[in-house]
Amino acid sequence: MKNLPLILNIILFALVGHLYYLNSQKSGGSAPQAILPPTSQTGGARIAYVNADTLDAKYEWLKEQKTAIEQRLANAEKSLAGKEEALMKDAAALQQKFQEGNMTQAEAEKQQAVLMQRGQKLEEEKMRLSKSLSEDQKKAFDDLYANVEAKLKTLSSQIGYDYILSYSRGGQILMANDSLDITKQVLELLNAKDK
What are phi and psi for residue 48, nearest 5 degrees? -145, 175
If you ran DSSP here, which 8-state letter would residue 6 be given? H
User: What would the pLDDT profile of 8-41 be if each residue is shown by its tens digit?
Assistant: 444 544 444 344 444 444 444 444 455 555 544 4
Per-residue pLDDT at 28: 44
Per-residue pLDDT at 16: 40
Inter-residue contact 24 to 163 (CB < 8 Å): no
User: What would the pLDDT profile of 68-121 be if each residue is shown by its tens digit?
Assistant: 888 988 998 999 999 999 989 998 998 898 888 888 888 888 999 998 999 999
Q: Calculate the CA 71 to chain-centre distance.
A: 13
User: What would the pLDDT profile of 113-148 be if each residue is shown by its tens digit?
Assistant: 998 999 999 999 999 988 988 898 888 888 877 877
Q: Which residue has the higher pLDDT, 65 or 147?
A: 65
**Closest to 61 (Cα-Cα) out of 166, 156, 195:** 195
Per-residue pLDDT at 104: 86
Q: What is the mean pLDDT of residues 166-183?
A: 82
Per-residue pLDDT at 193: 63
Give the three-class secondary structure for 109: helix
Per-residue pLDDT at 35: 55
